[in-house]
Chain A
Amino acid sequence: MAILVIAEHDNQSIKAATLNTVTAAAAIGGDIHVLVAGQGCEGACNAAAKLAGVAKVLCAAAPHYEAQLAENVAALVVANAPGYSHILAPATSYGKNVMPRVAALLDVAQISDIVAVEAADTFVRPIYAGNAMATVKSADAVKAITVRTTAFEAAAEGGSAAVENLAAGADLGLSKLVGRELTKSERPELGAAKIIVSGGRGLGSGENYHALLEPLADKLGAALGASRAAVDAGFVPNDYQVGQTGKIVAPQVYLAVGISGAIQHLAGMKDSKVIVAINKDPEAPIFQVADYGLVADLFAAVPELTAALS
């Protein structure tokens, strides 16, 4: 049994999401091959070859793979699919774009966004925005899968796989890249941030919110969020709001400052990997979900935390 992992990369290097996907492949079990489709992608290939557990790296280099648009990449994957029992990609905007195309061309179902591997044909995936977990079994010969990256550890380095060149397919000429505009703002966007510093009504005012949380967020490279109470109180605009009626986020770290943790707020951030709460009320519901809770006056604790991170 061999498993093909479609790498997400920028030609020079492998994106972190690929590392989690390799770990998911290892959980299924079998020889793991990583496909790097790109142009001038030796750097990415070499990085993939160093991952522990990777048996082989397949490198397909051609100008029409440079932008890694779905049409050509999917065709390449399908052409090289024979022999693989599973094809995996990260459930990122890249993997979600490519993989269903692959599945349809292979006439197999896709299993989206898996968070656990129960057996080689059985997986757990969230449905209804994570409010229910479905265990699904695939009857197809090839399992096309996207992997929720936060559910699997990153694969470590330590491998030395061979890099094998793959013949490129023809350019389908269906689509072309006009441009990419990566967000350059120092502050990552709430929906995409790895770390979020979020403030609640405990901050008392908009001035306090900015004075206390911005330096901390700067230190952490974090996005800024807020509870509905803070938005309602006018500390920050609507688009800062995390929660049922705001944005649903799942960062690596969610730092809740002066947020009591109303259920509407929890509904928007409970899938965060690590939740940290700073609140002076030891009874605040936020502590029921926090991995690390600090009962303290935030006006002292937050500056101290900011300083400690220097």
Chain B
Amino acid sequence: MKILVPVKRVLDYNVKVRVKADGTGVDLSNLKMAMNPFDEIAVEEAVRLKEAGVATEVVAVSCGVAACQETLRAAMAIGADRGILVETDVELQPLAVAKLLKALCDKEAPQVVICGKQAIDDDANQTGQMLAALMGWPQATFASKVTLAGESTTVTREIDGGLETIELKLPAVVTTDLRLNEPRYATLPNIMKAKKKPLDTVKPDELGVDVAPRLATLKVAEPPKRSAGVRVADVAQLVDKLKNEAKVI
């Protein structure tokens, strides 16, 4: 069984975001980039399935600029067998990525695609579901447990207020939530090995996909600063405010 894992290169989780002074976007120049944390969980899950003998091959895919190769190498250092870079300088939005992934799924015929549930940059939370729709496959989003058996997979999902377990026919798309696993630390020998694993590069037009963005970003601004509210004199006034002004209790 082949598993495909899309991985996205994003601003490192620890690096503070800064909105550009001219409001055209977020400043990313020369900043530290890293693999989207949810995608790291996806790679880890796929590699564990391979180590458990359920999967036979784990293919990592990244869509974007040439530097996404580093992200693919990081995925291979965790244990992915090879990488595919869909290289473009165009700003990619989730629908375009889903179409690129569909083209690769048509070629690679994986049984399972494991995606991060969302990227920590655009916070869209769309790509996995869109890919499933385009493929006509079932989906299990926000997975906290994945069991593969024969023709189907059983996935426990994190839903508001609890957990839901569903059974999907394969092939299927699974998207990861935080609690699915804790990714391993890549070791030096594995980072060294990853440098020698195969990495293919294709272009969107070779896959016949139009990746033109559908949404135009007009402006990016800092979030409104929270300002101090009022000081209450005592507990009674606090309760009154919460009940009658804020109406939250």
Contacts and interface: CB of A to CB of B under 8 A. Distances in A.
Report if A and B touch in the complex (beta carbons < 8 A).
yes
Nearest to B142: A93
B188 interface: no
Given A70-B141, A93-B142, A96-B141, A134 B168 contact: no
B133 A105 contact: yes
B246 interface: yes
Bin the interface of chain A by size: 35 or more
B228 A287 contact: yes
Given A70-B129, A128-B123, A175-B166, A274 B221 contact: no
Contacts, number: 229
Contacts of A289: 226-228
Interface in B2-24: 11, 16-17, 19
Contacts of A97: 129, 139, 141-142
B84 interface: no
A294 B126 contact: no
A195 to B, nearest CB: 7
A106 B223 CA distance: 32
Contact of A180 (B120, B134, B164, B215): B164
Contacts of A174: 137-138, 168-169, 172
B236 to A, nearest CB: 7
A181 B162 contact: yes
A129 B16 CA distance: 11
Interface residues of B, number: 73
A103 interface: yes
Interface string B151-189: 000100111111111111100100000000000000000
A259 B113 CA distance: 43
Contact of B130 (A103, A113, A183): A103
B95 A304 contact: no
A290 B132 CA distance: 43
B235 interface: yes
Nearest to B212: A139
Interface string A83-108: 00000000011101111111111011
Interface string A167-181: 000000111111111
Interface of B: 11, 16-17, 19, 26, 93-95, 98, 120-134, 137-142, 154, 157-169, 172, 213-223, 226-232, 234-236, 238-239, 241-242, 246, 248-249
Which 6 A-B residue pairs are closest in the complex by CB-CB distance? A100-B129, A291-B229, A174-B138, A104-B130, A182-B162, A109-B214
21 contacts: A70-B132, A70-B139, A93-B142, A99-B129, A100-B129, A104-B130, A104-B134, A109-B94, A110-B95, A110-B126, A112-B123, A113-B123, A127-B220, A128-B11, A135-B218, A174-B137, A176-B167, A253-B246, A273-B248, A288-B228, A292-B229
